């Protein structure tokens, strides 16, 4: 028996539920009506996020559920999470989200689900959380501060919002160049990297010009290497 393929789709940000990137997630699940769990912890379990999630797709296209932790109603988190095909994590405050997950033991459950083949995905905080480290504005809005305690499913670091937030690209270059963050990946809004196991399988985007990059130290400063991006067609 072969081990399940382990998927992470880390989005730079800016996607909403009509974005073709989300259709790509459903295709990875490879089942007729994938079970998709929305985890909105990074937004403080904001109602607007959860409502938009349920309204986004025709009811027949997937089986939706959500997991609130601030007013938790689910006793058996492990059964809920491992019963999914896709876990979709909201953007928001990454540091707060990780702290809440760890209090509830969700961090170890998500790792187990990833190892079992559940597709792990999200944008912004929902993209960064799967890596060892990355840049975040969790501590001060408008900044690109280092975060060192991601879940570590994927080695290295991740920088979301690479093109849309002025502090991100120069901040990431500085942090990687000074050795504060390990080398890693960066994504513009409306772009994502798909990793199988711990390796980049492809980069995808739903907008012309949205890019993904490898960023690491070089002999003469930081090296930024574009990754070839597959443009996804709009959802018809």
161 is catalytic: yes
Largest Cα span, the chain: 54
124 is catalytic: yes
CATH of the domain at 184: 3.40.50.880
Query: Model-level pTM?
Result: 0.95
Domain housing 52: 7-231
The pLDDT assigned to 174 comes to 96
Residue 56, pLDDT above cutoff 60: yes
The beta strands (E) that lie in 142-198 are given as: 145-147, 154-159, 184-187, 191-196
From residue 25, alpha-carbon distances to 11, 42, 145, 165 in Å are 11, 20, 29, 25
User: Is 2 part of any domain?
Assistant: no
Q: Which of 195, 96, 189 is nearest to 136 (CA)?
A: 96
Residue 207, pLDDT above cutoff 70: yes
Residue 83: pLDDT band by 50, 70, 90 thresholds?
A: very high
User: Is 236 part of any domain?
Assistant: no
Q: What is the mean pLDDT of the chain?
A: 93
User: Is 1 part of any domain?
Assistant: no
When divided into structural domains, the chain yields a total of 1
Catalytic entry in 7, 161, 173, 194: 161
């Amino acid at each position: 028996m072969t081990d399940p393929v382990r998927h992470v789709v880390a989005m730079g940000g800016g996607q909403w539920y009509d974005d073709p990137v989300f259709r790509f997630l459903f295709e990875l699940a490879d089942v007729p009506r994938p079970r998709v769990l929305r985890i909105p912890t990074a937004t403080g379990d904001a109602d607007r996020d959860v409502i938009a999630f349920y309204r986004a797709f025709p009811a027949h296209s997937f089986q939706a559920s959500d997991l609130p932790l601030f007013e938790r109603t689910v006793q058996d988190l492990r059964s809920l999470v491992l019963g999914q095909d896709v876990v979709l994590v909201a953007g928001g405050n990454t540091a707060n989200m990780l702290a809440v997950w760890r209090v509830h033991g969700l961090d170890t459950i998500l790792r187990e689900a990833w190892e079992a083949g559940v597709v792990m995905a999200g944008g912004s905080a929902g993209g960064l959380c799967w890596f060892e480290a990355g840049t975040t504005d969790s501590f001060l809005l408008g900044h690109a501060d280092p975060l060192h305690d991601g879940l570590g499913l994927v080695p290295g670091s991740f920088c979301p919002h690479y093109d849309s937030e002025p502090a991100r690209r120069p901040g990431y270059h500085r942090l990687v160049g000074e050795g504060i963050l390990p080398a890693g990946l960066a994504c513009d809004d409306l772009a994502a990297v798909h990793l199988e196991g711990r390796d980049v399988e492809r980069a995808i985007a739903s907008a012309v010009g949205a890019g993904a990059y490898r960023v690491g130290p070089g002999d003469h400063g930081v090296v930024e290497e574009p990754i070839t991006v597959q443009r996804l067609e709009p959802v018809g």
